[in-house]
């Protein structure tokens, strides 16, 4: 066994795996195997890795909707952004928008998005998503 493998086993044993942020005994926000997010944070490469995984999760969820494969790449990207931001339950709360997407009425889908509390909260993000929904 090499030093990395030994160290990894020891750290896993002593730190434990926690998949949601928590406060460690020193009061620091921590995640995973003792990653101190307050002092160390994450690297750009780690952020990209997490984002890639989140996008895959969004696509897997969105692919369960009958309209998904009929959308353009811009429309799919728009819905990935929306699903990422809202989560699965939040995305599903856009019932009228979903019906518009099912009917292929992308203007109505964009209208529903733009006339929502969500659009008021996120401003330009909603504008961008609505624009892409119509492309």
Which one is catalytic: 24, 46, 48, 108?
24
Question: Is 58 a catalytic site residue?
Answer: no
Alpha carbon distance 13, 33 (integer Å): 9
The pair of three-digit structure tokens given for residue 69, joined into one six-digit string: 């494969």
Question: Is 24 a catalytic site residue?
Answer: yes
Alpha carbon distance 67, 77 (integer Å): 14
Query: Within a 13 Å sphere around the CA of 79, how many CA atoms are in the beta-carbon half?
Result: 31
Which one is catalytic: 15, 57, 58, 108?
15
* Catalytically active residues, by annotation: 15, 24
């Amino acid at each position: 066994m090499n030093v990395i493998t030994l160290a990894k086993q020891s750290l896993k044993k002593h730190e434990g795996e926690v998949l949601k942020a928590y406060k460690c005994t020193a009061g620091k926000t921590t995640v995973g195997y003792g990653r101190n997010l307050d002092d160390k944070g994450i690297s750009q490469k780690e952020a990209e890795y997490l984002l890639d995984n989140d996008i895959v999760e969004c696509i897997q969820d969105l692919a369960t909707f009958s309209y998904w494969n009929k959308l353009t790449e811009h429309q799919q990207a728009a819905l990935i952004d929306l699903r990422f931001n809202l989560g699965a339950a939040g995305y599903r709360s856009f019932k009228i928008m979903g019906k518009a997407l099912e009917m292929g009425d992308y203007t109505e889908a964009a209208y529903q998005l733009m006339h929502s509390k969500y659009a008021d909260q996120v401003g330009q993000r909603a504008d961008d998503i609505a624009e892409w929904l119509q492309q």
